[in-house]
Structures are given as C-alpha cells and as structure tokens.
Amino acid sequence: MRYLLTGASGHLGQRVVQQLAFLVSGGQLRVGVHNMKKAGLFDSNQVEVAHLDYFDQESIDHSFADVDVLIYIPSITYNLVRRIQEFENVLAGAKRNHVDSFIFVSFFADQVNNPFQMSPFYAYVPRRLAGSGLNYAYVRNSLYADPLIPYLPELIERGHLIYPVGDQTMSFISRDDSARAIASLATQPTMRDHGQSYLLSMVRNYNMVELGKLMSKVTGRHIGYQPVTVEEFGKLYHDDGGAELASMYAAGGMGLLAETSDDYHRLTGEEPVGIEEYLRAHYHA
C-alpha cells in the first residue's frame, strides 16, 4: 500500500506525515512538495519526496504513479478559480494513474448560504468526487486553534477579542489532532472508501465571551469581547488576507462556524484536546 500526501510541507501536512510515519512501513509514504528546497524537512529513510506542481501534468503523473491512497491537502490560495482548477488537475491525475482512494482535506464552511470567499470550493469538491468513480472520503476541519497562540499578545494589548461574530459560537480543532485523525482515516479502508464525510472539532464550541474568559484564565490578563464590524476587521488585517478572513467571520456571525461532532473519536478512539488544555500547553508568557 502506497500513500501520497500533497501539501506535505505546510503546517498541517508536516503533522500528517509525522502521524502516518507511526502507522505505515518505510517505503509506503510519498509526499508531494512544490518547493523542493523544503525536501530537507523529511526523513529520507521514512519518506519519499516527489516534486509536485499542480499545474504540470508530468510532475503530477510522476508523483501519482503506483499510489493507492491520495491525501489531498489543497494549496493555500484565495483565488477561487485557480483552486478549483488545481483540484481538477489533481482529480484527472488520480484517474489517469488509477489511484484507488482519494481523501479530500476540507473546511466546514461549505454551506450553500456561506459568504466565505472559498466556500464554493469546499462545496464543489465533494460533489465532484461523488461522480468521479473513485473511492473517497472527505474531512471537514473546523477552525484551527493554533493561530490563537501567536494572536494572544495582540489580544492582551487590546484587552479584548474583536472577531465580528456577535453572540454566535465557533468551533475549533488543533492541527495536531486534525493530523492524527487524517492519518487514522487514511489507513482504515472501511472508514475511507465509501463517500464518508467527517467533521473534526473539539467536543464543544465557544462564544467569544467564553473564549475570552478562558484566555484570561490562561494568560492571567483580562481579555474581553468588543467586536468590530466585518468591514472594520477586513481593513485592520488588510495585508494578511483581511477581506477573505472578514468573509469567513461574516459566516461565523451567521452561526455557520459553530458545528461540532464526535467524528474525531470515531476515527481515533480518543477525545480531542480542548481549547483550555490547548492554550495552557502552548502559551508561554
């Protein structure tokens, strides 16, 4: 059985590689990397590194050759048309190379009324896979908890969270837990090959008052909640994908980023790390 992971040099991808290395034998894991300068991130005794350019058929075919299970982590881009074309190239490559199983790593902002800029992509891919003839499953990640840690100094200075989501709750998962569940899914054909959808989240969600209180408890500094408008949020973070992030939090204000499930437990037999435990483990004053 040979596994191929795309997006392997990214924050989530590196963690999935680490988890798969515990579950599969040497020589079974290949990683697709666009920037080969990052090949050194991986242990050559455990992982085969292949150059993968989503817009170059030769590199796709080289990476996908003799692959049984493809774990597709999309590239990070807010260009919707380019992201869809990337997926279409990956899908065509999977078919050409007779890949048996396709796992799509997704995001839970895929509802038909979701204003997030990338929502059409996350809704499109599962429907496309459904008619592909491939065995497939897809993982819908909730919001990553990880960015909360580097954000804490700014929140401490402000004294409050500013997410424009009003009284709505949001759901989180850590990248480590997401990676653990994805690796577990990849190695379980019964859970993997029948069009299943899995939502990875912590056990519960949090409104921003609750989240601020937990942050205050962990940091010892008061962090309240004073939301800005969606428009103000986009302007504040203009240079860091502000418009796109604002569209995501607009979805949050509609209650569309609140969903939770027990799918992490179904895939791993364990419970995900909760938000307070995660903050305590990673925050250092």
More confident residue, 242 or 229: 229
User: For the chain, which domains are there?
Assistant: 3-142+173-200+259-272 (3.40.50.720)
pLDDT in tens, 125-141: 999 999 999 999 999 99
What is the reported pLDDT for 280? 97
Is the pLDDT score of 142 beyond 90?
Answer: yes
What confidence score (pLDDT) does residue 43 get?
A: 87
Q: Residue 160 forms beta bridges with which residues?
A: 224
Q: Are strands 29-33 and 47-51 parallel, antiparallel or unpaired?
A: parallel
pLDDT at position 174 over 90: yes
- Rounded to whole angstroms, the Cα distance separating 235 from 91 reads 36
The average confidence (pLDDT) of the chain is 96
Which pLDDT belongs to residue 242?
86
Would you place residue 268 in the very low, low, confident or very high pLDDT band (cuts 50, 70, 90)? very high
Calculate mean pLDDT across residues 215-219: 97
The mean per-residue pLDDT over the stretch 145-158 comes to 96
Q: What is the pLDDT of residue 40?
A: 87
Cβ(115)–Cβ(172) below 8 Å? no
Q: What is the token pair recorded at 55?
A: 């817009």
Residue 190 pLDDT level (bands cut at 50, 70, 90):
very high
CA atoms within 13 A on the CB side of 20: 33
The answer to whether 19 touches 182, Cβ cutoff 8 Å, is yes
Return the number of other C-beta atoms located less than 10 Å from residue 108's C-beta: 26
pLDDT band at residue 6 using 50, 70 and 90 as cut-offs? very high
Q: Minimal CA–CA distance to 139: which of 96, 184, 77?
A: 184
Mean pLDDT, residues 188-208: 98
49: tokens are 């590194």
Backbone φ and ψ of 161, nearest 5°:
-75, 150
Q: Is the pLDDT of residue 262 over 90?
A: yes
- pLDDT of residue 26 exceeding 80, the answer is no
Q: What is the pLDDT of residue 27?
A: 84
pLDDT of residue 25: 84
Cβ density class 145-174: b for 16+ within 10 Å, e for less: bbebeeebeebbeeeebbbbbeebbbbbbb
